[in-house]
Structure 1
Amino acid sequence: MSVKLAPNRWRIATLYTACINADTDEYYNSNYLAQSFRDTTMVALTPIPKIKNLDKLLMHCQRRRHPAKHNIICAGERSDTLYFIIKGSVTILIEDEDGREMIIAYLNTGDFFGELGLFEQAGKEQERSAWVRAKVECEVAEISYAKFRELAQQDPDILYALSGQIAQRLRDTTRKVGDLAFFDVTGRVARCLLDLCKQPDAMTHPDGMQIKVTRQEIGRIVGCSREMVGRVLKDLEERNLVHVKGKTMVVFGTR
C-alpha cells in the first residue's frame, strides 16, 4: 500500500491506523507501519512559545538549580507552588505501590508544571499526583499559587500562556490513551521513537534523527517490559526503519 502525504505536513498521524487491530490483520499493519516510517520525511519541532511579560513573572519567582535525576516534586506533597522551566528538561512520571514507574511526559525550557492545584480552591488543594524529576541539570523558577493568582489578575496574558500549555497536554494525554487502546506494542514503540525525535536533545543525522534512550525508558513510556521493547526494536531494525546500537538509535527518514 502506498501512502502519499502533502509535503511539510506532520506524518506521525499515519501511525494511528498502522497498528489498529494488529492481532487480526498483522500482515497489513506490519507493512503499513513500514510505509509510515518511510513517509515520515519531516518531524515537526514545536517551537518554544514566547510568553508575554515573562520577565515580569520571573521577578516574583525564586530560582533554583536541580541536578539531573533530582526529584523536584514528589507525589503526595502539598500543592502550593507553580514551576517554570528556565533551562533544561524534566520527566513527569507516576508509580504504583510496587515502585513500578510510567513516564507521562517530558517537559522542556519554557514549560510550566505543578499547575493542577492552582485551579483548586485555595486551602483545599489536593496532594501532588505525580513525580517531577530533572532529566538533565535544570534551572527552575518557583512561584506560590497565591502570588501567581495576583499577577494573573493584573496581567491575564500570563494565565492564557499557562492555559495554552494545559490544553496541549490534554491533547497529548488523549492521544496517549488512544495509543494504549488501539495500538499494539510495535505501534506504541514506533510512536514513542517518533515523539523522541522531536525532543530538544535529539540530534540530526544524515539518515534521520539520532536519539539516546534505554529500552527500559521506552518501556516506561509505552507500558511494556524492557525485553518486549528489545524485540520490537529488533523487528524495526530488520525492516530497515531504525538503526540501534546500545542506547543510541537512528530513526530513518525523520529529519
Structure 2
Amino acid sequence: MNLKKIIKNDEKFAEIFANSPAEIIDKWEVKDYDKAEVICYQGEISDYFYYVIEGYLNIYLMAENGSKYVQSIYKSGNYFGELEIFNQQPYVCTVETLTPARIIRLQRKYFMEWIKKDHEYLLYLTKTLCDSFYKLSHKAGEDMLYSLRYRVCNYLGYKVEERGSNSQIIELQIDRKQLSDQLAVTKRSINRVLKGLSEKGIIELKNTSIIIKDIKALNKEEEISRYK
C-alpha cells in the first residue's frame, strides 16, 4: 500500500492531495499500528507530518502527577504534527491508537517543499488550523467558566450529534475513565454527575458504555446547567 493507491480508493484524500507534486506523493511513508501503540510521545522531537488513514487516535496531555487530559479523538482525514514541524519543537501531546490504525507520514524537508509548491494545500492547512484553534479556544472557555454538569451534558450531546442517529435511545461506547480523561477531572466527580443524570432517567450506565435514554431531557439539563 502506498499513497497513490490510497488516493485512488478514497475521494477525501484524492481532494486533499489533488495539487500535490508527484515527487512529494512518492515521499509519503505508510505505517500500520496495533491498538494501544504510541505514535508520538509528548516532549519528543520528531521530523514528520502525519495523516490518519484508518482507525482512531487518542490525543492527550499527561501531567507530572500522572493525570491525563484528552484533547481530541482523531479519525481518518485528520492530520497531526503540524504545530511542531515548522520549528521542530517537542510534541505538545502524546498520540496513541485507540484501535488498529494506518497512518502516513512525510519528512519535514519534503513537507516544507510541498507547501511552497502547493498553494491550494497551504490555504487548506491554514483554514483547518484556524478551525481547530477556534474549537480549542471554545473548549478551554467552557472548561473554565461552566460547571462540570454542563460540560458532561454538553460532551454527551456532542457525541450523540456526532453519531448522527435518529434513534431515541443511543449507546455511546465511552466509560467513566475516558470521560474523566476527556474533561480533566477526577473519576469521582464524573460519577457524581452521571449518577444524578441516571437518577433522573436521562442516561443508563454500563461498564463500558453510557446509554442516552432521553436526548431532549439531556439537552434541557445542559441548558439549565449552563447558568448554574
TM-score (norm 2): 0.79
Q: Residue 90 of structure 1 corresponds to which residue in structure 2?
A: 57
Q: Residue 51 of structure 1 corresponds to which residue in structure 2?
A: 16
Within-5 A mapping of 1:208-219 = 208-219=169-180
Q: CA contact under 8 A between 1:73 and 1:133: conserved in structure 2?
A: yes
- The root-mean-square deviation of aligned C-alpha atoms, in Å, is 2.3
Whole-angstrom CA distance in 2 between matches of 1:180 and 1:143: 34
If asked which structure has higher relative contact order (CA below 8 Å, sep 6+), I would say 1
Q: Structure 2: where are the runs of 5+ without partners?
A: 1-11, 217-228
Q: Residue 168 of structure 1 corresponds to which residue in structure 2?
A: 131
Q: Residue 33 of structure 1 corresponds to which residue in structure 2?
A: none
Distance 1:153 1:220, change over 3 A: same
Letter in 2 for 1:218: L
1:111 equivalent to 2:78? Answer: yes
The alignment-based identity, stated in percent, is 19
Letter in 1 for 2:49: L
Q: CA contact under 8 A between 2:19 and 2:118: conserved in structure 1?
A: no
Whole-angstrom CA distance in 1 between matches of 2:65 and 2:147: 25
Equivalent residue for 1:228, pick from 181, 186, 189:
189
Q: Residue 133 of structure 1 corresponds to which residue in structure 2?
A: 96
Whole-angstrom CA distance in 1 between matches of 2:38 and 2:208: 23
Give per-residue Cα distances to partners, 1:99-123, cap 9 Å, x unaligned. 2111011111101101112332xxx
Cα distance, 1:208 vs. partner? Answer: 4.2
Q: In structure 1, the residue corresponding to 2:185 is in which secondary structure? A: coil
Cα distance, 1:241 vs. partner? Answer: 2.5
Q: CA contact under 8 A between 1:69 and 1:134: conserved in structure 2?
A: yes
Cα distance, 1:205 vs. partner? Answer: 6.7
Q: CA contact under 8 A between 1:111 and 1:165: conserved in structure 2?
A: no
Q: CA contact under 8 A between 1:186 and 1:232: conserved in structure 2?
A: yes
Whole-angstrom CA distance in 2 between matches of 1:194 and 1:131: 26
More helix by share: 2
Whole-angstrom CA distance in 1 between matches of 2:140 and 2:202: 25
Cα distance, 1:195 vs. partner? Answer: 2.6
1:185 equivalent to 2:129? Answer: no
Aligned residues: 201
Give structure 1 regions of 4+ aligned residues with deviation exceeding 6 angstroms.
Answer: none
Whole-angstrom CA distance in 2 between matches of 1:198 and 1:137: 25
Cα distance, 1:224 vs. partner? Answer: 1.3
Q: CA contact under 8 A between 2:19 and 2:120: conserved in structure 1?
A: no
Letter in 2 for 1:118: I
Give per-residue Cα distances to partners, 1:10-51, cap 9 Å, x unaligned. xxxxxxxxxxxxxxxxxxxxxxxxxxxxxxxxxxxxxx7952
Whole-angstrom CA distance in 2 between matches of 1:234 and 1:176: 24
Q: In structure 2, the residue corresponding to 1:250 is in which secondary structure? A: strand
Q: Residue 253 of structure 1 corresponds to which residue in structure 2?
A: 215
Whole-angstrom CA distance in 1 between matches of 2:164 and 2:170: 6
Cα distance, 1:52 vs. partner? Answer: 4.5
